[in-house]
Amino acid sequence: MSEANARVQKVADQLQRELAVLIQMEIRDPRIGMVSITGVDVSRDLAYAKVYITVMNSLGDDAEVNDSTLAAPGDLDRLEITESLKALEKASGYLRTLLAKRLKLRAVPKLQFRYDNSIERGHRLSNLIDEALAADQKRALDE
């Protein structure tokens, strides 16, 4: 790993740690639910940073809606993800200002928020594997 790549990775790691704290403690937008930062990719020139997030389900007052949204991702989950991304994009300038005060960088990268669906994809693959194993066991018992 070259020295430039090591620096970019250090900046990305530091941005991830600082953003996790800042979003939780400083952003007061009700559209932002339980957001977790899964990764940060910083461009080689440190001008841009893609911040990958996941949105955890937040519970509402209606138990029936909670059960339906926690069981499988649906329209409400997608709406919550979309609203969280919009709110984070709107707050990106404020977050950059806070980052500039906390980090010792000449220029703070411009933040671009993206939804990371790897957890959702991993859960779906895990379910497929479980189904395949159950089908194999059933077939073995039938023989």
Domain that holds residue 66: 3-117
Q: What is the pLDDT of residues 62-74, one digit of tens each?
A: 555 555 544 455 6
Examine residue 42 and state whether it is found in any structural domain, yes or no: yes
Q: Output b/e per residue, 21-32; b: 16+ Cβ within 10 A.
A: ebbeeebeeeeb
Domains in the chain: how many in total? 1
HSE (side-chain half, CA atoms, 13 Å) at 135: 6
The pTM (predicted TM-score) of the whole model is 0.74
Residue 59 lies in a domain: yes
For residue 141, tell me if it sits in a domain: no
**Residue 53 covered by a domain:** yes
Q: Which helix (H) or strand (E) holds 113?
A: strand 110-115
* Within-domain flag for 62: yes
Residue 76 lies in a domain: yes
Please state, in angstroms and rounded to a whole number, the distance separating the CA atoms of residues 128 and 135: 11
Res. 8: pLDDT tops 70: yes
* Residue 52 domain-assigned (yes or no): yes
Closest C-alpha among 80, 115, 112, 117 to residue 95: 112
Does residue 79 fall inside a structural domain?
Answer: yes
**24 vs 72, more confident:** 24
Q: How many CA atoms lie within 13 A of 87 on its CB side?
A: 18
* Of 23-27, 31-35, 90-94, 107-111, the least confident: 31-35
CATH number at 30 reads 3.30.300.20
